[in-house]
């Protein structure tokens, strides 16, 4: 896998539970946890019983509190338990609180299934702690750059791995027009949707959509307002932006060169954009997945990783290394004998 592919993969990958495989060094003078104490995060100790309650609440969140878990699934639950406690501790150090609206919502969820939870020894307080930890963890994950800075050595190592045309920043706008195709094995075209009077209300046949897309492209090339035309005629799309997906339709987007292809979602379109002069629009292309027609307007190209494109890649990088950064502030100690008790009781 080359560097560009590695960046693209890391950008679209979900946050994975990596804390469970971390190595924790415990000195000979560190007090040992008892067989009922499965985890210590900073000065807080958590028991096997708390881990079991976390497991039941997690299973209920997935829709089946009675589901029997495999060993692998229980190990995953344990990893999630560690992660929730470590991130909650980090969130506390950053003064992230549990809003009253979220408190009320969590209490309502517990009350609606109180009998189910009580049958497994889970009190309202247990559930509220779970909900609070989850809220704090999610808030910290989704806003990591608000609370921590990306270490410059990590950024510089990333940046120094590129040179030449890869050291550029782009801004651009894109239109997408989705079409429908017959189901596999069927012949003929997809019929347009009609109302009770037989009037066409939506025509997603490929050739009809092609004509619509070509008309929009012609309007743009005739000095039309790209964003306005997109809002009126195009379908929009989801794309990576900072830490997640956003819906865009003709809006201004940014990308450093190494992730431009990933953000465009088409190698063909990427090659055409790279060949444009600023202010020009690509030809229309059929996207890689064969579901839509797309074209792009190049708004700017700048040397180096600069501006909003640079800001975005910093957001992506800090998301990738957030656990390493957080563990500089938070320490944790696992008790493997208690974990074994949990897994094999």
Q: How confident is the model at residue 265 (pLDDT cuts 50, 70, 90)?
A: confident
Query: What does the pLDDT look like over 267-302, one tens digit per residue?
Result: 999 999 999 999 999 999 998 777 899 999 999 999
pLDDT for 189 = 67
Distance CA 199, CA 218 (A): 27
pLDDT for 192 = 79
254: β partners? 171
Most confident region among 26-35, 156-165, 179-188, 236-245 by mean pLDDT: 156-165
How many residues in total does the chain contain? 345
pTM for this entry: 0.72
pLDDT for 191 = 79
Sheet (strand 253-256) strand order: 253-256, 168-178, 292-303, 285-286
pLDDT for 113 = 95
pLDDT for 176 = 95
Weakest mean pLDDT among 38-42, 257-261, 341-345: 341-345
pLDDT for 243 = 62
Query: What is the Rg, in whole angstroms, of the alpha carbon atoms belonging to the chain?
Result: 26
Phi-psi region of 188 (alpha: psi -120 to 50; beta: other; left: phi over 0): left
pLDDT for 297 = 97
- Does residue 153 have a pLDDT over 80? yes
Task: Give the angle subtended at the CA of 275 by the CAs of 270 and 277, to the nearest 5°.
Answer: 120
In this structure, what is the dihedral angle of CA atoms 316, 318, 320, 321, given to the nearest 10 degrees? 170
pLDDT for 61 = 93
Secondary structure element (H or E) that encloses residue 298, with its range: strand 292-303
- Does residue 5 have a pLDDT over 50? no
Distance CA 192, CA 1 (A): 43
Dig out the tokens for 143 from the structure.
């806003």
pLDDT for 345 = 66
Residue 125 Cα to chain centre, angstroms: 30
Q: How confident is the model at residue 184 (pLDDT cuts 50, 70, 90)?
A: low
Weakest mean pLDDT among 51-60, 114-123, 166-175, 239-248: 239-248
pLDDT for 18 = 35
User: Does 164-305 carry CATH code 3.10.50.40?
Assistant: yes
pLDDT for 203 = 84
Secondary structure element (H or E) that encloses residue 218, with its range: helix 206-221
pLDDT for 185 = 56
- Quick one: average pLDDT of 315-330? 91
pLDDT for 3 = 45
Q: How confident is the model at residue 17 (pLDDT cuts 50, 70, 90)?
A: very low
Whether 303 and 8 have beta carbons less than 8 Å apart is answered as: no
The DSSP annotation for 23-78 comes to -----TTSPPPPTTEEEEETTEEEEHHHHHHHHHHHHHHTT-TTPPPPHHHHHHHH
* Strand, coil or helix: 116: helix
Distance CA 321, CA 141 (A): 11
pLDDT for 21 = 36
Answer with the residue of higher pLDDT: 94 or 201. 94
Query: What does the pLDDT look like over 188-216, one tens digit per residue?
Result: 667 778 777 777 768 888 889 999 999 99
Q: How confident is the model at residue 254 (pLDDT cuts 50, 70, 90)?
A: very high
Query: What does the pLDDT look like over 31-79, one tens digit per residue?
Result: 567 778 889 999 899 999 999 999 999 999 999 999 999 989 999 999 9
pLDDT for 194 = 73
Whether 85 and 39 have beta carbons less than 8 Å apart is answered as: yes
- Does residue 238 have a pLDDT over 60? yes
The strand pair at 244-248 and 44-47 is best described as unpaired
Domain definitions of the chain by residue range? 3-150+321-344, 164-305
Q: How confident is the model at residue 14 (pLDDT cuts 50, 70, 90)?
A: very low
Task: Give the angle subtended at the CA of 288 by the CAs of 282 and 290, to the nearest 5°.
Answer: 105
294: β partners? 176, 285
Answer with the residue of higher pLDDT: 4 or 46. 46
The strand ranges marked E within 162-268 are 168-178, 193-194, 200-202, 237-241, 244-248, 253-256
């Amino acid at each position: 896998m080359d560097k560009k592919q590695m960046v693209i993969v890391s950008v679209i990958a979900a946050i994975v539970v990596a804390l469970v495989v971390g190595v924790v060094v415990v000195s000979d003078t560190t007090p040992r946890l008892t067989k009922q104490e499965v985890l210590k995060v900073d000065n807080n100790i958590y028991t096997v019983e708390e881990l079991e309650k976390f497991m039941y609440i997690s299973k209920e969140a997935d829709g089946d509190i009675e589901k029997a878990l495999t060993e692998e699934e229980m190990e995953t639950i344990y990893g999630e338990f560690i992660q929730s406690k470590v991130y909650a501790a980090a969130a506390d150090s950053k003064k992230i609180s549990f809003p009253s609206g979220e408190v009320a919502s969590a209490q309502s969820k517990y009350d609606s299934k109180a009998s189910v939870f009580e049958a497994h020894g889970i009190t309202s307080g247990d559930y509220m702690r779970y909900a609070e930890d989850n809220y704090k963890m999610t808030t910290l994950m989704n806003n990591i750059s608000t609370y921590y800075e990306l270490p410059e050595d990590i950024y510089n190592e990333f940046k120094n791995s590129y040179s030449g045309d890869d050291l550029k920043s782009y801004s651009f706008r894109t239109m997408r027009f989705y079409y429908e195709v017959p189901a596999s094995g069927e012949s003929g075209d997809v019929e347009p949707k009609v109302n009770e009077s037989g009037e066409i209300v939506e025509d997603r046949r490929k050739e009809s959509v092609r004509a619509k897309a070509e008309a929009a492209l012609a309007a743009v090339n005739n000095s039309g307002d790209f964003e306005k035309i997109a809002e009126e005629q195009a379908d929009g799309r989801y794309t990576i932006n900072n830490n997640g997906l956003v819906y865009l339709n003709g809006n201004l987007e940014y990308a450093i060169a190494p992730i431009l292809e990933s953000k465009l979602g088409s190698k063909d379109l990427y090659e055409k954009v790279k060949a444009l002069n600023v202010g020009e629009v690509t030809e229309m292309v059929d996207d890689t997945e064969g579901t839509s027609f797309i074209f792009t307007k190049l708004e700017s190209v700048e040397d180096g990783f600069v501006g909003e494109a640079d800001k975005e890649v910093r957001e992506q990088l800090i998301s990738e290394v957030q656990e390493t950064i957080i563990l500089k502030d938070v320490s944790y100690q696992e008790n493997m004998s208690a974990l074994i008790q949990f897994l094999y009781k």
